[in-house]
């Protein structure tokens, strides 16, 4: 009886040992199986970056007048808009350009997507060429503006010209008339002309004219009987007063 009981205990102990060994072996096998599972590799496709297309233009402005220097030329590329219209009031930015030749506010307008300005005045008979570029696909409209500085508020230019159909190396030209900003009376009096004919005040915030942009009727100098004028017959101008040429270069 004692022998039977001893053997049974031994058998139970052996069984427990075998069970423990089996579990341990299965655990190792399970660990080994996990180690051998291939890790999934996520492949992220490389999308090529297309460089933005650049649009470049060469702009040439020629002064056709006899004695009217042109103020530094302002050039802007922008969306579909016009910076002035005949019969409508001039913006303050245009008023500053047309009365004093200062184009800083004009080219700083938030609607502009690319701008350029010449460094100095364009003398009579002279030309200036400027290059302007943009990668903004919506900047397909051009505005160019300059003041005839021996006047009160005369300016010339072109605004809201669609360039979207201009092909590479294609050239377009315009002969431009002169506008009156309508913000300052054309008195031609001493102290009111910013150009070399007078050296007077430029921009004045007070608007004492009809406050509507129109076509300029020309100067009436002292040689024409306006005794208070500081201008002479040399400062007269005929239309067109400016030639503008633009070429798409890129």
How would you label 68-87 residue by residue, b for 16+ Cβ within 10 Å and e otherwise? bbbbbbbbbbbeeeebbeee
Per-residue pLDDT, averaged over 224-240, amounts to: 96
The beta-strand segments (E) located in the chain are 55-63, 74-78, 112-117, 127-134, 141-147, 154-162, 171-176, 178-180, 214-215, 242-248
Percent of the chain with pLDDT over 90: 79
Task: Determine the pLDDT at residue 25.
Answer: 45
* Statement: residue 10 has pLDDT above 80: no
Closest CA to 177 of 91, 98, 242: 242
Percent of the chain with pLDDT over 70: 84
Per-residue pLDDT, averaged over 192-202, amounts to: 97
Per-residue pLDDT, averaged over 141-146, amounts to: 98
Q: Which two tokens stand for residue 154?
A: 């005369």
Per-residue pLDDT, averaged over 104-120, amounts to: 97
Task: Determine the pLDDT at residue 37.
Answer: 58
Task: Determine the pLDDT at residue 8.
Answer: 44
* Statement: residue 12 has pLDDT above 80: no
Verify cis geometry, omega within 30 degrees of 0, for the bond prior to 143. no
DSSP conformation class of 16? H
Q: What is the pLDDT of residues 54-88, one digit of tens each?
A: 999 999 999 999 999 999 999 999 999 999 999 99
* Statement: residue 168 has pLDDT above 90: yes
* Statement: residue 1 has pLDDT above 50: no
For the chain, which residues make up each domain, given as ranges? 55-248
- In the three-class reduction of DSSP (H, G, I as helix; E, B as strand; rest coil), residue 178 is classed as strand
C-alpha–C-alpha distance, residues 66 and 46, integer Å? 62
Q: Supply the CATH classification number for the domain 55-248.
A: 2.60.40.2130
How would you label 213-246 residue by residue, b for 16+ Cβ within 10 Å and e otherwise? beebebbebeeeebeebbbeeebbbeeebbebeb
* Statement: residue 205 has pLDDT above 80: yes
DSSP conformation class of 13? H
Task: Determine the pLDDT at residue 34.
Answer: 53
DSSP secondary structure letters along 179-236 = EE-SSS-----TTS--STTT------S---S--S-EE------GGGT-TT-S--GGG-
CB 57 within 8 A of CB 132: yes
* Statement: residue 3 has pLDDT above 90: no
Q: What is the pLDDT of residues 208-220, one digit of tens each?
A: 999 999 999 999 9
């Amino acid at each position: 009886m004692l022998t039977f009981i001893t053997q049974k205990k031994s058998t139970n102990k052996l069984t427990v040992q075998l069970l423990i060994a089996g579990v341990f072996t299965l655990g190792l096998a399970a660990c080994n199986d996990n180690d051998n599972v291939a890790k999934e590799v996520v492949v992220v496709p490389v999308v090529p970056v297309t460089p933005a297309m650049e649009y470049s233009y060469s702009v040439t402005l020629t002064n056709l007048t006899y004695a009217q220097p042109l103020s530094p030329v302002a050039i802007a590329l922008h969306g579909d808009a016009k910076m002035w219209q005949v019969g409508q009031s001039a913006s303050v930015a245009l008023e500053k350009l047309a009365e004093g030749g200062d184009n800083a506010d004009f080219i700083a307008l938030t609607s502009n997507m690319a701008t350029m300005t010449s460094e100095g005045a364009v003398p009579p008979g002279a030309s200036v060429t400027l290059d302007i570029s943009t990668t903004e696909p919506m900047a397909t409209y051009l505005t160019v503006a300059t003041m005839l500085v021996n006047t009160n508020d005369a300016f010339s230019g072109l605004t809201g010209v669609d360039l979207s159909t201009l092909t590479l190396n294609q050239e377009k030209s315009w002969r431009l008339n002169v506008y009156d900003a309508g913000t300052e009376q054309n008195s031609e009096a001493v102290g009111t002309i910013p150009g070399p004919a007078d050296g007077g005040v430029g921009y004045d915030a007070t608007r004492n004219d009809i406050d509507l942009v129109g076509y300029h009727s020309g100067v009436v100098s002292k040689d024409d009987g306006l005794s208070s004028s500081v201008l002479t017959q040399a400062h007269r101008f005929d239309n067109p007063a400016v030639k503008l040429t633009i070429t798409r270069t890129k």
